[in-house]
A and B are shown apart, each in its own frame.
Chain A
Amino acid sequence: MTLLRRALAALGIAGLVAAVLRLRGSGGVPPQQGGWRELSGPDLR
């Protein structure tokens, strides 16, 4: 039972750390929603 509790605690802590790194990581998160827009006049000046 102790082993199971420790394993669950370890998994929980690992998940928490991973979530923090995912959200606060230095690399940022690339865009995941949106669409393509052609570069036109003002973009090319």
Chain B
Amino acid sequence: MRVAVVGLGAVGIRAARQLASTSEVEALLLRDPRAGRADEVAAAIGAVARVDHTTELPDTDVVVLAGPCRTQVALARDAVSKGCHVVSVSDDVGDVKALLELGPEAEARGVSVIAGASFAPGLSCVLAAHAAGSLDRVEEIHSAALGTGGPACAVQHHAALGGRAIEWRDGGWLHTPSGSGRELCWFPEPVGAADCYRGALPGPLLLVPAFPGIARVTARVAATRRDRLTGHLPMLRPPHPEGGVGAVRVEARGWRGSVSDTVVLGVMDRPAVAAGAVAALAAVSAGSGSVRRRGAGGLAELIEPLSFLHELARRGVKAAVFEGRSLFA
């Protein structure tokens, strides 16, 4: 298959590297608005990669949109109209809503639009699907993420704490202030515990359609007091080139037979590295036709989680399960 990667930031480069080492990918086209960036990355990746200098969207089977948030929807619309599968790494609520709205057209054209194929959402959706699959009936899914990838991700983290949080409760959307709802979440070691808060995060938008009848879906993000205090202001200092180790965890609550049960899964990794692997695997799934259906959706809805996690583990992104017991069990 032929794959294009548009946007070569921290996530885009990792996705391109992962795609270059995938046997199904015959050609990899790279594009970035910064002069020389695509040439530099193509030279580092090797023969399978080449730079796309055209102004039109490249003619490929799949396009991975890894540019900054709020630049991806027009490209996705263009790609769908050309019959090309789309994988977007955007974690902006507006982007995800707009991408999901492309569903009917994508379905009519026989292509997939995979929205939020990143760390959180993305990996969190895969973990949610796997956790929910081990229960007979799932009632609640709660996800939390810690850490950021590149500078665009740090900007988005800042924006998420300044917007309105959305969560699903008893059949309806609930809008709450970002930075509220503090919860101490335990991530895989060595990350450990961190205070997590509601934010303008698109995870629930992608998870709710995947689990019809679910009662509650929430998403939280780890933040410091300064993050919450300055969330409504412009960023006071430029974002870092790339954040350190991050983590994501998903808690699915439901029933096994007549017994209530909770499954907690998590991943600890550098967010941009894991996001790149998730985006690349999503692109391969879309291009090879192994997605569950055509149209727009998140990974929880469109992919088979077990094989996806297996392939992620082979590429070094390893999930973990929290094996614990309740004090009251």
- Which residues on A are within 8 Å of B, measured CB to CB? 22-23, 26-40, 43-45
B260 near A31: Cβ-Cβ < 8 Å: no
For A22, list chain B residues within 8 Å (CB): 328
- Which residues on B are within 8 Å of A, measured CB to CB? 139-140, 188-189, 251, 253, 260-262, 264-266, 306, 309-310, 313, 318-329
A27 near B140: Cβ-Cβ < 8 Å: yes
B324 near A43: Cβ-Cβ < 8 Å: no
Min CB distance A33 to B, Å, is: 5
A-B contact count (CB 8 A): 72
Q: 17 A-B pairs, CB-CB below 8 angstroms?
A: A26-B260, A27-B140, A27-B253, A27-B260, A28-B253, A29-B262, A29-B326, A30-B253, A30-B262, A31-B264, A32-B327, A34-B323, A36-B321, A36-B322, A39-B319, A44-B306, A45-B306
Q: Which residue of B lies closest to A31 (CB)?
A: B324
| Cα of A26 to Cα of B320 in the assembled complex, Å | 27
A29 near B264: Cβ-Cβ < 8 Å: no
For B265, list chain A residues within 8 Å (CB): 39
Within the complex, which residue of A26, A32, A38 is in contact with B318, where a contact is CB–CB below 8 Å? A38
| Cα of A45 to Cα of B324 in the assembled complex, Å | 22
Within the complex, which residue of A29, A35, A45 is in contact with B329, where a contact is CB–CB below 8 Å? A29
Q: Which residue of A lies closest to B305 (CB)?
A: A44
A32 near B324: Cβ-Cβ < 8 Å: yes
| Cα of A45 to Cα of B326 in the assembled complex, Å | 27
| Cα of A40 to Cα of B329 in the assembled complex, Å | 27
